[in-house]
Amino acid sequence: MTARAVAESESRDRDWHDASLTEVRERLDVESFESGLSAAEAEARLERYGPNEIREAETTPAWELFVSQFQDFLIYLLVLAAILSLAVGLLPGSEPNYVDAGLIGLILLANGVFGFVQDYRAEQSMQALRELSSPDATVLRDGQKRTVPATQVVPGDVIFVEQGDAIPADARLLETTDLHTDESALTGESSTVTKSTADVPSDAPLAERENVVYMNTTAVRGRAKAVVVETGMETQVGSIATQLSEADEEKTPFQEEVDELGRTIGYGVLALILVVAAVQLLATASAPVTVLLVSVTLAVAAVPEGLPAVVTLTLALGSQKMLDRNALVRRLPVVESLGAVDVIVTDKTGTLTENQMTVTDVLFGDEVFEVTGSGLAPEGEFRRDGEAIDPERISPLLRCGAICNNAEEAAADDEKDYLGDPTEIAVLVAAKKAGVDPDHERRREVSFTSERKRMTVVADGDSPTAYTKGAPEVVLDRCESVLVDGETVELTAERRDAILERNSQFAGEALRVLAFARKPDVDPDADPEDLESGLTFLGLQGMLDPPRAEVADAVADCRRAGIRVVMATGDNVETARAIGEEIGFDPTGAISGPELDDLSEEDLAEAVEEVEVFARVAPEHKVRILRALQNNGADVAMTGDGVNDAPALRNADVGIAMGIRGTDVAQQASDMVLQDDNFATIRDAIAEGRGIFDNIRKFVNYLLSANAGEVLVVFAGVLLGAVLFPDLFAGHAEALVLTPVMLLWINLVTDGLPALALGTDPRAADVLDRTPRSHDEPVISGRMMASILSMGLLMSLTGLGVFFYALDRTEDLIQAQTLLFTFLVSVEMVRIQIIRSRYDLSIGSNRWLLAAVGVSFALQLLVLYTPVNALFDVVPVALQGWSWIAVGFVAFLGLGLAAEALTDRVLQADH
C-alpha cells in the first residue's frame, strides 16, 4: 500500500478508534449493545447503506466480450478465407464469391454469438459460485445470536468473532478474549496484531488501532464482541479500492493446451496450403483461381470452430455437476486436477465421522459411569454397572464442563440446535442431561490453542473459581489434588497412573477424552500460568464421534480407483487407530506428531508411502506430510478446516476445505469446499472430475478427427481429381470436391449441438476402476492421436470413394459434391458413438445427444430439400444417391470399429 493510500485510508476512519463507546453507540443510533439491532431496523439499514461488499472493478462490457469471440488465431484464418473468396474477383475473368464470403461471415457471426452466450453464462455461473462461497457472520439481532450472510451485516450490528473467522466489516471492539488478528491483507504487516478494548490515541496509525478490527482481516486467535461501524465501500478496504479477488480468471492447463492446439492447427494449415498450392501450380497446371479456392476450402476444413465454445460450456457444466454433489469448485483448474489425484490426506473429525460428538463414558473419582442417549437431545441417564444413578453425584465434573465452554443453544429459528465446537456441544448436552444449570458470570477466559491444548474460564460463584479443560496429559500435569467422594485428596503417582490408564482405555474404545479440573479462590487477573497450576482434578469425559455410514465404502472406492487415502488427525493415536480400523485403514505403524518431529526428511519420505494413520498432528505436520508426498511424485488432495491449515490447503494439488465447520480462512485458501463436510463427497467429486475430463477428451477427439477427415478429403480430392478427371479439375476453377460453404455448414451442424451435448454425457461406469491419470498427461494422448488420424483417414477414403464413384456414374459434379457433403454429415454423427463406445456408453444413455443428432440431421435435410439448397450449390439426393451413401456409411462403420479395436490391442501390447 502506498503512503498516499494509507493516508487517505486513515482519514476515512474518522475517529471511531478514539471515540468513547457511548459516543460510538450514539453515532450509530444503537439502543443497546446487549440486544443489538432489531431485525426490522437491520433490514432498513441494509436498504439505506446497501450490501456489505466491495464493489468489483468494472466488469468487461458485453460488447467487448462479444468482440473477444473473434480474437483467435483460428478465427483469423477463417476471416482470411472470406477475404480470399472476394479476392478471387481480382483475377482476370473471375467474379468475387460473394455468397461464399457472406456465408463464411454469417457462420462466423453465429459461432461468435454462441461463444458469447456461453462465456456470459459461465461468467454468471462463477459469480453465483462466488456468492455461494461468501462467508457468514454471527450477529446479535433482537437480543439473540443469528448467523447471516456477511453481505447483510449493517452499521450498528453487534457481531461475534471466533478464532478462524474472517472479519465481516470494520468494527469497534466491545469485549475481547486474547484476540489476535492477521491484518496483512490491509497493512502488509505479516505479524499478527493483538487487539483489546483499550483507549487509542487519536493520531494512532492504522496498524496500531488495537480497539478496531477491519474487514477482510482474520481472527487467528481468541474471540471478541464488536459493533460494526463501517460496511462495504466505506470500510478501510473499500476506501483504498482493494479487491481481494480469487485467481479464477487464470487459464486452466487444458485451455492453454487448446490455445496451443489452435496455433498449431493454424500454422499447419498455412503450411498445407502452400504445399497444395505448389503441387497444383507445378504438377497439375491449375489456374490461380482454383489454387485460391482450394486454399480457402482447406482453411475452412481445418478450423474446429466449435472447440472454444464447447470447452467453455463443459467446464461450466462440470462446476455445476460438482456443486450438485455438494462440492463447490472455487477454481476451475480443480476440474482437471481431480482426475490426477492419487493421494487424499483427510481429517477424521467431521469428514470421516459424523462430527456430532456424544459423551458416552465419564470417570469421576475412582468410578466410571455410562451415559445413555445420543445426538443433541438432552435426554439420557447416567449409569453405574447398568444401574441408573442420581446425576447430582457427578455434578462437579459436569458443571465444570458446562462453565468452561463456549457452546450455546441457538435461536429458535436458527437451522442449528447449538452454536459452537462439536466437542463443547457434547459436553454441554451431557450437563443438560443431568439438569446442571450452567448459568454463571464469566470473569475471564484463557482460550484454547493447539499449542496450549487447554482452556480456562474464571467464573464467579461462592468465590472466583478457575475451571479448566483440555488434553488429559496436559491437565493432569497441572493438578496437585483430585476430588474423590466429595473430598479433595492428594493426587498421588498411583492415582495419576490409574487416571492415565483409564484415559488409554477410553481412547482404545475410539473415545475422544477431555480432562476437567478446577481451582477455587483465584485472582481473575492472575497470570495464566498461575491460574492453571495447582488444580484439583475432577474427572474425564469420553465422547464418541461415530464414523459416517457411507465412508467405509467411499474409502474402498477410492482405493479401487488407485487413490491412497491417509488419515491425519489431531486425536490421539489410540482413537485414530480404532476409528481408522473400523473404516478400513491399516492402523499398523501409525505415527504421532511428536514421532513425526523426530523423522528426517528422508525417513518421512519413506514413511508417507507406508503409513495410513497420522495422529496428534498439528498444521505444520500436515505441511510436512504434504511436501513429502509431493516430493515422491504424488498428486495430493488435502482437507483442512482451521486457520493454520491454510498453507497446506494452498500448496496441495487440490486443497479441500470444510463448508460447515471450516473457517473462512481455510475456505478462501482452498480449491474446493465440501458443503456437507463428508469424505464421500470427495470420492463423488473425483468421479465427476474424471467424467468431465472424459467428456473433454471425447469432444476433442470428435472435433479433431472430423476436421482431419475434411482436410484429407479436400487435399486428396484435389490431387486425385486432377489425375482421375483432369479435364474437369484442371479446367474449371469451381471443380472442388467440397466448397468452403459446404465445409462451414458441416462444421456448424456437427461441431455445434452434438459436440455440446457430449459435454452432458454421463460418466462411465468404470470411472473409479481406473488408475489416476498422470498430472502431466496431455488431453490429446497417444491413443487419441492414433484415433484422430485413423478416423480422419477412413473418413476421407470412404467419402472420396462415394464422391468419385458418383462422379464416374453420373458425370455430375454438383450431385457428387452433394453426396459427399451429406455423407460427411452422416458419418460424423456416427463417429460420436464410436468414440462413446470406448466408455461403454449406449446410444440411449444421453437423450440430449440424441436430440442434438436429430436436430442436426433435420437441418441437413432442410438444406437438401428446400430452396436453401441454392445457397449451398447442392441438389436433392435421390434414392440411388442414398444407397451409395449407405454403402460408404457401412464401410466406414465397420472399418472404424475395427481400427479402434486394433489401436487398443497395439497400445496394450506395447504397454
Q: Are 851 and 819 in contact (CB under 8 A)?
A: no
> In terms of DSSP bridges, do strands 636-640 and 343-346 run parallel, antiparallel, or are they unpaired?
parallel
Question: What is the per-residue DSSP string for 61-87?
Answer: PHHHHHHHTT-SHHHHHHHHHHHHHHH
* Rg value, the chain, Cα: 35
Q: Per DSSP, what are the bridge partners of residue 173? A: 226
Q: Per DSSP, what are the bridge partners of residue 327? A: 674
Joined grid coordinates for residue 223: 474471540
Beta strands in 650-697 (DSSP E): 654-658, 672-674
Q: Are 96 and 85 in contact (CB under 8 A)?
A: yes
Distance CA 816, CA 721 (A): 12
Joined grid coordinates for residue 866: 428446400
Question: What is the per-residue DSSP string for 643-684?
Answer: GGGHHHHHHSSEEEEESSS--HHHHHH-SEEETT--HHHHHH
Which run of H or of E encompasses 292? helix 288-302
Of 347, 641, 671, 751, which is the active-site residue? 347
- Residues written for the chain: 911
Cell 462446476 maps to which residue? 319
User: For residue 637, which of 612, 656, 617, 663 has the smallest C-alpha distance?
Assistant: 656
Q: Are 98 and 86 in contact (CB under 8 A)?
A: yes
Joined grid coordinates for residue 18: 478514539
Distance CA 445, CA 406 (A): 10
Q: Is 240 exposed, middle or buried (0-12, 13-18, 19+ CB in 10 A)?
A: middle
Which run of H or of E encompasses 540? strand 535-544
Distance CA 482, CA 747 (A): 83
Q: How many CA atoms lie within 13 A of 227 on its CB side?
A: 25
> In terms of DSSP bridges, do strands 441-446 and 418-419 run parallel, antiparallel, or are they unpaired?
unpaired
Distance CA 902, CA 894 (A): 12
Cell 453481505 maps to which residue? 151
Distance CA 553, CA 680 (A): 8
Q: How many CA atoms lie within 13 A of 597 on its CB side?
A: 8
Distance CA 655, CA 646 (A): 9
Which run of H or of E encompasses 387? strand 387-388
Which run of H or of E encompasses 636? strand 636-640
Q: Cα separations (Å) of 815 from 25, 300, 811, 812?
A: 87, 21, 9, 5
Q: Are 45 and 155 in contact (CB under 8 A)?
A: yes
Q: Is 146 left (phi over 0), alpha (psi -120 to 50) or beta?
A: beta
Distance CA 704, CA 784 (A): 10
Q: What are phi and psi of 223, to 5 degrees?
A: -150, 165
Q: Per DSSP, what are the bridge partners of residue 346? A: 567
| Cβ count within 10 A of residue 106 | 14
Cell 460453404 maps to which residue? 741
Beta-carbon contacts of residue 91 (< 8 Å; ≥ 6 apart):
288, 289, 292
Beta-carbon contacts of residue 678 (< 8 Å; ≥ 6 apart):
326, 351, 548, 550, 551
485 catalytic per annotation: no
Q: Are 507 and 501 in contact (CB under 8 A)?
A: no
Q: Is 11 exposed, middle or buried (0-12, 13-18, 19+ CB in 10 A)?
A: exposed
Q: Please give the positions annotated as active site.
A: 347
